C-alpha cells in the first residue's frame, strides 16, 4: 500500500490573478504548483496552511474559502490535498523555497507546467471563476 501524504495548498488571489510557484527542490523540481505543504500530526488544515505559507513565502495569508480536495496517485505515494482560496494579509512575499513565482490571470493558467495533482486544482479554479 502506498504512503498517504496529507497536504494543504493555497490559491493566493491578488488583483484577479493567482500565484503559481515553481518547485526549487526534490523529485518534482521545476514543476509548477500552488504553494503549501504537509499537515503535521494534530494540526488542522487551515493552521497548517498559514504555517506553510509563512515558511515558504514569508507571507501572512487569510483563508477565504475551501476550493477543492484532490486525491492523486503518484508513482510512490498517494497525495491527499486540501486547497483553499486565500489572499495576502499585506503585500509582503518572498520566495524562500521556490525557484520562481508568477501571478497568472485566468486566461494564463495553462501557461505553466503544473504538477499532475495541481492540474485538478486549476480545473476547479477555472470552473469557479467562469
- What is the per-residue pLDDT for 107? 93
**Separation between Cα atoms, residue 108 and residue 15, nearest integer Å:** 14
3-129: CATH topology: Nucleoside Triphosphate Pyrophosphohydrolase (3.90.79)
- What is the per-residue pLDDT for 98? 84
- What is the per-residue pLDDT for 21? 97
63 burial (CB, 10 Å; 0-12 / 13-18 / 19+) is middle
In tens, the pLDDT along 12-37 reads: 999 999 999 999 888 889 999 999 99
Global pTM? 0.93
In tens, the pLDDT along 51-92 reads: 999 999 999 999 999 999 999 999 999 999 999 999 999 988
pLDDT band at 130 (very low <50, low <70, confident <90, very high): low
- What is the per-residue pLDDT for 24? 85
- What is the per-residue pLDDT for 1? 80
| 82 SS3 class | strand
pLDDT band at 95 (very low <50, low <70, confident <90, very high): very high
Q: How many CA atoms lie within 13 A of 65 on its CB side?
A: 5
- What is the per-residue pLDDT for 25? 82
Amino acid at each position: 500500500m502506498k504512503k498517504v501524504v496529507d497536504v494543504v495548498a493555497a490559491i493566493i488571489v491578488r488583483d484577479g490573478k493567482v500565484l503559481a510557484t515553481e518547485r526549487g527542490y526534490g523529485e518534482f523540481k521545476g514543476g509548477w504548483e500552488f504553494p503549501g505543504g504537509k499537515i503535521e500530526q494534530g494540526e488542522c488544515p487551515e493552521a497548517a496552511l498559514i504555517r506553510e505559507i509563512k515558511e515558504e513565502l514569508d507571507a501572512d495569508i487569510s483563508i477565504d474559502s475551501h476550493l477543492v480536495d484532490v486525491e492523486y496517485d503518484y508513482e510512490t505515494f498517494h497525495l491527499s490535498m486540501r486547497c483553499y482560496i486565500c489572499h495576502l494579509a499585506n503585500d509582503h512575499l518572498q520566495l524562500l523555497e521556490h525557484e520562481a513565482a508568477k501571478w497568472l490571470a485566468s486566461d494564463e493558467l495553462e501557461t505553466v507546467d503544473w504538477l499532475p495533482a495541481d492540474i485538478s486544482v486549476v480545473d476547479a479554479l477555472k470552473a469557479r471563476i467562469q
